[in-house]
Amino acid sequence: MELPLRLDWSPKRRYDLTDDGDRRALYERALNQALQVEDLQTFLNADLLIDLWPRLWLPQQLRDLWQTRFPQLTSRH
């Protein structure tokens, strides 16, 4: 999957979703950079987000906001 420049301006914008590290990197980038709900809907999958959540490297404020809005992110772990 390739993220658009508005989300990822690095030379490596293509992510291999079969690779755990690439999946985490894509989710971290999308969560940190998305300004539109449509980007989150396009690039994130709820079940995969829940699975990856404890292993994502995110700013604490962002993590807290998401966990407050979506408590299911912490319910499986």
Identify whether 7 is part of a domain.
Answer: no
Q: How many domains does the chain have?
A: 1
Tell me how far the alpha carbon of residue 75 is from its chain's centroid: 18
3-state secondary structure of 33: helix
Identify whether 5 is part of a domain.
Answer: no
Q: CA 30 to CA 34: how far, in whole Å?
A: 5
Identify whether 6 is part of a domain.
Answer: no
The pLDDT assigned to 10 comes to 86
The pLDDT assigned to 76 comes to 64
Domain span at residue 33?
Answer: 20-75
Q: CA 53 to CA 2: how far, in whole Å?
A: 21
The pLDDT assigned to 25 comes to 96
Q: What is the pTM of this model?
A: 0.90
- 28 close to 53: Cβ distance less than 8 angstroms: no
- 44 close to 21: Cβ distance less than 8 angstroms: no
Encode pLDDT of 23-61 as tens digits: 999 999 999 999 999 999 999 999 999 999 999 999 999
